[in-house]
Every structure is written in C-alpha cells, then in structure tokens.
Amino acid sequence: MATGLKPIRRVVTGNDERGRSRVVWDGPAPNAHEASMGAGRGHTDLWVWNENPAPLSGSNDDGNLDYVFPGPDNGGHLRVVQGPARPADYNPAKDRDVVPAHPPKLRPNATRVWDRGGNNFYSSAMHKTQTIDYGIMLMGERELILDDCKLLMKPGDIVVQVGTWHQWSFPKGASMAFDMFAARFVDGPQGLAQGKDVPIRTAPKLPDGVKPARRIVTIDREPGLGVLVSDGPAPDVRTDPARPGYASARLWVTDSHPAKIVFETLHLPHTLEPPARGTVCRVVTVPPDDSWKGKIGAAEVQAFFRAMGSPGASTYSPLSPHPYMQKTRTLEFCLVLEGEIVLVLDTQEVHLKAGDIVVQRGTNHAWSNRSSGPAVVAIASHDGAA
C-alpha cells in the first residue's frame, strides 16, 4: 500500500454457504495510488464492477480490478481521492504540475474523458467524463469550479455530476469519495442535458436533531459549459414515526444503464432499491437505539418499509438480531459521515465510525446506533445480480 495516503477502512460483506450474511474483508483498502493525479495527489480504489447489473457474489476482491479512468463502459467504480493542502510558500513558477488552460480535447490514453487544462499542484484540470458521479465529501474542504460559479464543499456535502465540465481545487486539503458509473451521451462528446424536467428545490421539515443533506446537481446546458442546476437541502425525505430522529433523504435516481443526462430524477418512484439497471443515492440519519428500543414490533417495521416503497425488503422476524433487518438485490456503498454505528449481519456485527466505508453485496443487514447521538451514513445502491 502507498504510504502517502491516509488508509481507508473498507468492510466488504458477502454470504456464506448457508446464505447468511458475513464479513468477507475488513481492513485498509489495498489498492492505493499515491501520486495518480500529480505530486501528492492520489486515490484509493474500493470497488470496480465491469457489468450491469453489478455482480454480488464471487471470492475475488474487486477493489483490485484494473480499470481505465473514468471506469468501465458497462460498469463503474468507487474510489476515494485525497489531495494535500496548498503549501504556505507555494510558488506557481516552480510548480511542475501547472498546465495552462487550452481548448477542449480528448485526454491522451483515456476513453470518455475530455480536458481543458488549468491544473496545478492543488487543483485538477477542468475536465468532463461520460459518467454520472456521486461525489461525497469526507474530510477537509474542496472547491467545485463550474463555468458559471464556484462552490465550497465540506464534509457531508454531496454533488451529483451529470456528465459535467468541472474542476476541483483543494487549497486546505481534502478527502472525497466518488461513485462513478457510465452515462449515455446522445449527442456525442457534448453530453448536453436532455428533457425539461424541473429541478425540485423544496426544503422539507426534518425531525429534531436531523441535519439537512446538501445536494448539489451540475450539468452541461450548452456545449463546453458546466453549470449549476441546484444547490440546497435534499428535497425528498422519508421518516419513521416509530424511530424519532430517523430520516432518509433521497438525492438522485437513475433508471437505466448507461444513465441518462437529465436535470432531475426525484419524480421517479421512491424505493430503497434502485430501478432495474439503475441506482439510488441516499443519506440516512439513524438515531440512538435507546430512543425506540423495546417499542417496535412487526407492525411498525412493516409500516416503515411500506412508506419507503420497498415492503419486500424487510426480513423481520422476532428472532432476528435487529427488527429492521433488510435484504435487497443491490451492490451498496455505505460511507459513514458522522457518529458511530454498528452494521448488524446474520453472523457478525461490525462497529464503524466516520470515514469507514462498507461494500455490501446483497447481504441481509441492519444499522444499529448504540451511541448517545445520531449517526449519518451516505448510501449509493446499484442494481445487482447474484
């Protein structure tokens, strides 16, 4: 493992020979690249999939699979990008990573990536990939640079990049996760927005103690110009009356692969699992179990899963290790953003803290908060196949 990057704890789940959920790997993600993006800037691969629906079984560690940025044509990848802070004595004249801005061109030795230069030691090039990206801030600060604005992102903020021209700057240093998967450009490399769906910008009332999940959406309305579609609290939030302080905020949905380049997707039906060959990105706030423990039975659990649009996801049983056990045919990336939480499986429990990342492969599970404060988890779900 490269030593210049902060190790990232990655837990991968699977099923044993009896179909019971368990931990397959737990430890630092092994596939780190210390200077893949210039001096001091690198990334760690957590998972790669080369087909859709995504495979949910197998004994190989798919975090070690090779790929060409921005990912497989028929799949995607999850990685964490880390960048150092700008040195106090930074001198652009001595910066070997400086590339002047230039007209758009296909990046050499890459597919589906276009570049306009402008990069330096602490900033990426202005670039565009033929992907949908769920960009989830983990640590530090990052400046998202579009052609019409600049936005400062902090831990917990999430951007949905819909095939957009964009640039990153991180003068204070940052760590950010990217779930990138293939998109469909109907007009060649321009990748312009299709349709006329109106972005949803409502600010729903949240339970006490729940912070709004910031959702940023970007797209190209005109050739060569990445612009902001919306920036505000995630507008689609579901709660659980039986668990005061619980909230599930839905940020984006895709219903095909490659995914469509559109302005909004939250008009699609609300479900825990994604549509066929699609994805769902959510942020979940889980209150302490002590606030509801001993007060919940089958009726309350069934009402919750019906409200989430996924009554079949529940695997409730009086003998289950947790009343909210659930199982879906999905590949899920679960990033702990705040607090501490326990991943409950059929055969094991895993204690997690902020910065830990779970790769769930169609496994029966529940989230248990045994701390005194809320825990926040970002979850990106992909349609899967056993």
Beta strand pairing call for 158-162 and 214-222: parallel
The mean pLDDT value of the chain amounts to 94
CA 382 to chain centre: 11
**pLDDT of 35 higher than 80:** no
Dihedral of alpha carbons 263, 154, 247, 48, sign: positive
Q: Where are the domains of the chain?
A: 15-385
What's the Rg (C-alpha) of the chain? 20
Average pLDDT estimate for 276-285 = 98
pLDDT of 8 reads: 96
- Number of Cβ within 10 Å of residue 382's Cβ equals 27
**Do residues 376 and 338 touch, judged by C-beta distance below 8 A?**
yes
Helices and strands, counts by H and E, the chain: 1, 26
Q: Which of the four pLDDT bands, split at 50, 70 and 90, describes residue 39?
A: low
**Do residues 316 and 301 touch, judged by C-beta distance below 8 A?**
yes
Q: Among 143, 147, 116, 148, which residue's Cα sits nearest to residue 129?
A: 116
Task: Give the pTM.
Answer: 0.96
State the DSSP string of 325-366.
Answer: -B--SEEEEEEEEESEEEEE-SS-EEEEETT-EEEEES--BE
Predicted confidence (pLDDT) per residue in 156-170, tens digit: 999 999 999 999 998
Q: Among 60, 234, 219, 71, which residue's Cα sits nearest to residue 148?
A: 219
- Name the CATH superfamily, with its identifier, for domain 15-385: Jelly Rolls (2.60.120.10)
- The enclosing H or E element of 48 equals strand 42-49
Q: Among 286, 280, 282, which residue's Cα sits nearest to residue 352?
A: 286
pLDDT of 38 reads: 65
- Tokens in use for 365? 């599970």
